[in-house]
């Protein structure tokens, strides 16, 4: 437990700890729980809701909303299975209740009670540094041997004339909405925007997306184009290379002034979602008093997640140039705790980093994209692709849209994988392991895959790498030679 020492009369109580964690989101909770279970004296400081963005306004609620939308879509699409298709009657208030029931079911895992049960102390207040490794929070002074900053990120809105005077959702507020938007306008076509676009369209909203540049430039371009065609076929309007210049509220709803192809115009909708990125939460921390350096992207760290201040680490979305994913937050937590409390040799390595956009079908990516691989390895790269239409399990479920595209070195080492398929996020696990462990495609090709499963597509694409050798002229001559033996 935390060691508490009184100060002079009227002074703050002083807590002396092995570790102080600032932030009770995914990164902070992972770090705090690990350290507490190792027997360290831990204090966790959280000014808002325990569980942070992922539990309350991110991963959990968004996937719950997508699941409801997928059910509605299945009702409309049941004809192919010999079941009469029907137009679902969507009770959006009940959908909202479903989303918040999911949040409530997960919340105990991230609760104050659970962490206090592990031996950590939780302070529900805002934290600020007053000196290196010394903080004030809730009227208490915390002096820690090590500090981990895990304050996460917040939505950021672009500079658009009139936007401040217009009511709009972000990913942190849209799950509080109980009324189905008649026409949802979405500024930003990243993963959050795409997921919310498909979910609301399937639940009955008209949806228009506006992207100032290119949709998801870090994913496989071919798979992104195919996903956009699927969304368009479902009725989502997606407009790229569109600059939103102004916003105003009028009697029917919200009007956006746009510039597209040099031409000015207007788009009207009933509701607006701004999904244009996130910024690190650094305000009120007084990082200068701790000696922690920052830049425009967040807190500057080295590969061991150490900040410029001795004994102070930063993890998760608050880190400059860090991939902003919940699984990265957990990954960071393990590295920071090891380096802060044990032997400091763990380093970040994003070579096998996966990410998933949870539309239907899902779009998953691991490792390099093709252009990056060719730039690094020049002519030593092979591109392989297997369509889901050849997978028997996909056929049985009428989920044969998409493919798996793999970039490999000519020696068989996996460099990157893109998967557009139902449950692509699950299919990606094998490739995270393959890239992270330095496995060759022969290891995946030799795998005995249960039949019929979607996972057979992983084995199939690995097998494509060896087909030219396996069925080439040399193999034919060897088989012909041995075929004459008695």
Mean pLDDT of 278-292: 95
What are the φ and ψ backbone dihedral angles of 386, each rounded to 5 degrees? Answer: -130, 130
Gap between the Cα atoms of 299 and 4, Å rounded: 30
- For residue 326, which of 337, 335, 315 has the smallest C-alpha distance? 315
Strands 153-155 and 140-149: unpaired
User: What kind and span of H or E run contains 461?
Assistant: helix 456-470
Going 189 to 193 to 195 to 199, the CA torsion angle's sign is: negative
pLDDT digits (tens, 9 = 90+) for 83-99: 999 999 999 999 999 99
Q: Show Cβ contacts of residue 46 under 8 Å, excluding neighbours closer than 6 positions.
A: 23, 24, 28, 122, 123, 124
Domains annotated on the chain, with CATH: 3-50+111-155+279-341 (3.50.50.60), 163-277 (3.50.50.60), 354-470 (3.30.390.30)
User: What per-residue confidence (pLDDT) applies to 474?
Assistant: 67
**pLDDT of 5 above 60:** no
Mean pLDDT of 225-237: 97
Mean pLDDT of 283-292: 95
Predicted structure pTM score: 0.93
pLDDT digits (tens, 9 = 90+) for 146-201: 999 999 999 999 999 999 999 999 998 999 999 999 999 999 999 999 999 999 99
Most confident of 111-125, 191-205, 365-379: 191-205
Structure tokens at 368: 């390099």
Query: Confidence class of residue 476 from pLDDT cuts 50, 70 and 90?
Result: low
Gap between the Cα atoms of 229 and 138, Å rounded: 52
Mean pLDDT of 433-462: 96
pLDDT digits (tens, 9 = 90+) for 382-409: 999 999 999 999 999 999 999 999 999 9
Mean pLDDT of 55-60: 78
Does residue 8 or residue 251 have the better pLDDT?
A: 251
CB 315 within 8 A of CB 330: no
**pLDDT of 51 above 90:** no
Q: Name the burial class of residue 403, with classes exposed (0-12), middle (13-18) and buried (19+) by CB atoms within 10 angstroms of its CB.
A: buried
């Amino acid at each position: 437990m935390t060691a508490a020492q009184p100060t002079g009369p009227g002074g703050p109580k002083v807590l002396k700890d092995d570790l102080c964690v600032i932030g009770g989101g995914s990164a902070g909770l992972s770090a705090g729980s690990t350290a507490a279970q190792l027997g360290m004296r831990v204090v966790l400081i959280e000014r808002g809701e325990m569980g942070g963005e992922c539990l309350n306004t991110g991963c959990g609620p968004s996937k719950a909303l997508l699941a409801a939308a997928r059910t509605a879509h299945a009702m409309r699409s049941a004809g192919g299975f010999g079941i009469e298709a029907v137009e679902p009657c969507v009770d959006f208030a009940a959908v909202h209740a479903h989303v918040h029931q999911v949040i409530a079911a997960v919340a105990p895992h991230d609760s104050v009670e659970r962490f206090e049960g592990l031996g950590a102390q939780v302070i529900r207040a805002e934290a600020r540094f007053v000196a290196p490794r010394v903080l004030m929070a809730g009227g208490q002074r915390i002096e820690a041997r090590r500090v981990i900053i895990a304050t996460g990120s917040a939505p950021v809105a672009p500079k658009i004339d009139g936007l401040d005077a217009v009511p709009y959702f972000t990913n942190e507020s849209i799950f509080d909405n109980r009324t189905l938007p008649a026409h949802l306008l979405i500024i930003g076509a990243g993963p959050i925007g795409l997921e919310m676009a498909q979910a609301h369209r399937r639940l009955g909203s008209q949806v228009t997306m506006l992207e100032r540049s290119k949709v998801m430039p870090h994913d496989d371009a071919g798979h992104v184009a195919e996903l956009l065609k699927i969304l368009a076929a479902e009725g989502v309007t997606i407009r790229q290379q569109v600059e939103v210049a102004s916003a105003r509220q009028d009697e029917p709803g919200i009007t956006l002034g746009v510039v597209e192809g040099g031409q000015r115009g207007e788009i009207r909708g009933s509701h607006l979602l701004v999904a244009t990125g996130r910024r690190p939460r650094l305000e009120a921390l007084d990082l200068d008093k701790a000696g922690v350096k920052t830049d425009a992207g967040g807190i500057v760290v080295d590969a061991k997640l150490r900040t410029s201040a001795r004994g102070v680490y930063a993890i998760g979305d608050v880190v400059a140039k860090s991939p902003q994913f919940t699984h990265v937050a957990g990954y960071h937590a393990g590295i920071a705790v090891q380096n802060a409390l044990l032997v400091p040799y763990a380093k970040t390595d994003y070579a096998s980093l996966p990410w998933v956009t949870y539309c239907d079908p899902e779009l998953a990516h691991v490792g390099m994209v093709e252009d990056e691989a060719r730039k690094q390895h020049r002519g030593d790269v092979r591109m392989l692709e297997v369509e889901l239409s050849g997978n028997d399990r996909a056929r049985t479920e009428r989920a044969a849209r998409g493919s798996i595209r793999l970039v490999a070195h000519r020696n068989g080492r996996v460099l990157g994988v893109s998967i557009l398929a139902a449950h692509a996020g699950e299919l990606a696990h094998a490739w995270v392991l393959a890239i992270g462990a330095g496995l060759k495609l022969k290891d995946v090709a030799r795998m005995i895959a249960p039949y019929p499963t979607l996972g057979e597509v992983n084995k199939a694409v690995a097998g494509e790498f060896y087909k030219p050798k396996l069925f080439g002229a040399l193999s034919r001559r060897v088989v012909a030679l041995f075929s004459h033996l008695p």
